[in-house]
């Protein structure tokens, strides 16, 4: 388990698989984070019918404050969404959530990870670049709310053994 530093000295940060009972909390996060939020039905379908989908929730003391999802196909992971409650932004929790998603993908045998991000979302782009993602092109008119372009980004994931250790990596102490 992990402990937060700033205002939540005694709070415990945890990551776990998303369940159907998380959908109401996820919908609150979804509406705070996106101008084109997914529907409850979309999340329900992802969790019950999409065998490629993997979704996780980030909690502080049992309260969902973020979530992330990906599709795992062959040896590639495609991030579908990643979001943090507005009240918890600015604490590097999005970075922690992305780290956990990348670790999970690597553990599952994924070699590469991709995503689309709004060309105007420079904050997210900087985070992705920090984590090793590189621009690989543009999807014109990708976002239907305003026809904004999306930047396609890719990153190589570290090789991991089934024991969760990264091969050839140095761990921080």
User: Token digits for 63?
Assistant: 């309260």
Task: Tell me if 98 sits within 8 A of 62, measured CB to CB.
Answer: no
Q: Are strands 134-143 and 148-156 parallel, antiparallel or unpaired?
A: antiparallel
Helices (H), 16-172: 23-33, 40-48, 93-107, 122-130
The answer to whether residue 116 is catalytic is: yes
Give buried/exposed letters for 147-157 (b at 16+ CB in 10 A, else e).
ebebbbbbbeb
The answer to whether residue 128 is catalytic is: yes
The one catalytic residue in 30, 107, 128, 129 is 128
Report phi then psi at 170, rounded to 5.
Answer: -110, 130
The one catalytic residue in 55, 116, 142, 143 is 116
> Which sequence positions are flagged as catalytic?
116, 128
């Amino acid at each position: 388990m992990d402990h937060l530093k700033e205002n939540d000295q005694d709070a415990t940060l945890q990551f776990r698989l998303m369940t159907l009972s998380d959908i109401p909390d996820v919908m609150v996060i979804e509406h705070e984070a996106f101008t084109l939020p997914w529907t409850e039905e979309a999340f329900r379908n992802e969790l019950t019918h999409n065998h490629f989908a993997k979704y996780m929730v980030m909690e502080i003391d049992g309260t969902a404050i973020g979530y992330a999802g990906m599709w795992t196909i062959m040896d590639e992971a495609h991030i579908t969404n990643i979001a943090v409650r507005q009240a918890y932004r600015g604490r590097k929790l999005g970075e922690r959530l992305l780290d956990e998603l990348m670790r999970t993908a690597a553990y599952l045998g994924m070699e590469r990870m991709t995503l689309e991000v709004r060309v105007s979302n420079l904050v997210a782009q900087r985070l992705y670049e920090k984590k090793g993602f590189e621009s690989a092109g543009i999807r014109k008119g990708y976002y239907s709310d305003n026809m904004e372009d999306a930047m396609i980004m890719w990153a190589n994931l570290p090789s991991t053994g089934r024991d969760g250790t990264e091969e050839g990596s140095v761990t921080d102490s």
